[in-house]
Amino acid sequence: MEEEEEETSQWKQAMINSTAGAISGGISRTVTSPLDVIKIRFQGWVRLNSDF
């Protein structure tokens, strides 16, 4: 009985950790993606307007 409770507890903790990781990954990607697009567009704009 005690082993079942421990196994369930470990499974529950793994699911909580996985969910937290997925949420934090989604939030970080949502924040950094627009900044990455701006950076890439700026780099392209600089290359088009340079005299090299």
For residue 7, is it within any domain?
no
pLDDT in tens, 1-52: 677 778 889 999 999 999 999 999 999 999 999 999 999 888 888 777 776 5
Query: For residue 24, what are its two tokens?
Result: 């934090």
For residue 10, is it within any domain?
no
For residue 52, is it within any domain?
yes
Q: What total of structural domains would you count in the chain?
A: 1
For residue 36, is it within any domain?
yes
For residue 38, is it within any domain?
yes
For residue 35, is it within any domain?
yes
For residue 44, is it within any domain?
yes
pTM greater than 0.85: no
Residue range of the domain that includes 44: 28-52
